């Protein structure tokens, strides 16, 4: 679950949502660096949000692996409604009550995003072979909420799952019972096996 690289709106702390903002030069370099690391996972499939910042991030990995990028409209970022293009400060000033609830007028709710993205992630994961490795290039809110859906977390604890930095990723592994485990979160390096006395190591990969 790989968040796109930096954009100018990220730097300006503007709500992007489904607005199609491209990567800036830093974001392009972030994507190239991350792709070199993620290629070591030997992915068997790459899918991406249809927004250009995610597509270009995914393409950096496709260039190294030779894999095609499968576009999926269901993986786009949260619809920010009237908040799109506004800075954090502008949102706080104009929409104080909605900001407390994090409900952009005219946009999507968190449960709507979680279901949309989580369902898409599950569909792509189900299409993998037994030893398949899927890389998904998408967006911060979309991925965080989609991960919460896949893990079966109740809505009241979703905020305990931290956000993803630009071009960082999270790794989910399938457990023996068919559920999912969060193995790495907001990482910028490849995951390594965790050796401990905790039974949290009991999964397939």
- Which tokens sit at 157? 């604890």
Catalytic site residue from 74, 77, 84, 108: 77
Asked about 77 being catalytic, the answer comes back as yes
Whether pTM > 0.75 for this model: the answer is: yes
pLDDT value, residue 202:
44
Asked about 156 being catalytic, the answer comes back as no
Tell me the sheet residues that pair with 3.
138
Confidence of residue 196 (pLDDT cuts 50, 70, 90): very low
H helix or E strand, kind and range, residue 30 = helix 25-38
pLDDT value, residue 190:
63
Question: DSSP for 17-78?
Answer: TTS-PPB-HHHHHHHHHHHHHHGGG--SEEEE-SSHHHHHHHHHHHHHH-PPEEE-GGGSPP
Reply yes or no on whether the pLDDT at 64 is more than 60. yes
- Which tokens sit at 60? 């950096």
Tell me the sheet residues that pair with 23.
7
Each residue's pLDDT tens digit, 21-42:
999 999 999 999 999 999 999 9
Q: How far apart are the first and last CA of the chain?
A: 16
pLDDT value, residue 106:
97
- Which tokens sit at 72? 């999926």
- Reference 5, options 22, 30, 25; nearest CA is 30
């Amino acid at each position: 679950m790989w968040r796109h690289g930096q954009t100018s709106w990220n730097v300006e702390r503007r709500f992007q949502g489904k607005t199609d903002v491209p990567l800036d030069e830093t974001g392009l370099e972030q994507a190239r660096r991350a792709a070199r690391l993620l290629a070591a996972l030997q992915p068997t499939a790459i899918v991406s949000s249809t927004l250009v910042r995610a597509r270009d991030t995914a393409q950096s990995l496709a260039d190294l692996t030779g894999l095609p990028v499968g576009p999926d409209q269901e993986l786009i970022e949260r619809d920010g409604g009237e908040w799109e293009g506004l800075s954090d400060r502008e949102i706080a000033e104009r929409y104080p009550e909605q900001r407390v609830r994090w409900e952009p007028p005219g946009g999507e709710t968190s449960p709507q995003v979680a279901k949309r993205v989580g369902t898409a992630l599950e569909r792509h994961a189900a299409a993998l072979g037994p030893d398949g490795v899927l890389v998904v290039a998408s967006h911060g809110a979309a991925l965080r909420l989609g991960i919460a859906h896949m893990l079966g977390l109740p809505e009241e604890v979703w905020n305990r799952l931290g956000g993803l930095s630009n071009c960082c990723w999270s790794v989910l592994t399938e457990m023996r019972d068919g559920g999912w485990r969060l193995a790495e979160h907001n990482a910028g390096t490849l995951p390594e096996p965790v050796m401990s006395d905790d039974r949290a190591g009991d999964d397939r990969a």
